[in-house]
Amino acid sequence: MTPSDPRLDDLVEHIVARHHAYVRRAIPDITVRLRGLALSSGREHPQLSLVLQTFKDLAATLLVHLEKEEHILFPYVRELARAADTGLPLPPGPFGTVANPVRMMEDEHQAAMHDLARLQALTHHYAIPTAPVPGLAEAWAALREFDVDLREHIRLEDQELFPGALDLEVRLT
């Protein structure tokens, strides 16, 4: 990335518009599906309660995580991109260096990946059991879609956005 490359701004916009919006839309739907399954079939399939609780924990953590990104980290990344584009000095970050919130976000990403792994284990990688459970196929499909989206979301941040922001901050200081 060159200092004047607008990709960081574009990448932030893409992540917020695509991935953050998707997370916010999907969480209520998946939670309702899983709660219904746990209530209707939880006695026969006790793992449904564990799936519900794991997803609720992941969802609560993610919603706070998105707020931190959108209100703390991403505005600073946009400032980095703006400073690179305009040649104006970089305003001081409220957290010292961008490496500090990046490290926190990466730690939270690892925790989210752990929760996804737990969901995959509990659902046998979202496989439909041979004994039919009404609504399970749809819930597992929604969880699978959420899993795929979150993994791509985390990849974009960890492998593209964060390294680009770290590099740009070093070049601008």
Neighbours of 126 (CB within 10 A): 18
Q: Whole-angstrom Cα distance, residue 63 to residue 158?
A: 18
Per-position pLDDT tens, the chain of length 173: 444 444 899 999 999 999 999 999 999 999 999 999 999 998 988 999 999 999 999 999 999 999 999 999 999 999 999 999 899 888 788 898 999 999 999 999 999 999 999 999 999 999 988 878 999 999 999 999 999 999 999 999 999 999 999 999 999 88
User: Rounded to whole angstroms, how far apart are CA atoms 102 and 112?
Assistant: 15
Q: What are the extents of the domains in the chain? A: 7-172
- What pTM was computed for the model? 0.93
Q: What sign has the CA pseudo-torsion 3, 67, 140, 142?
A: negative
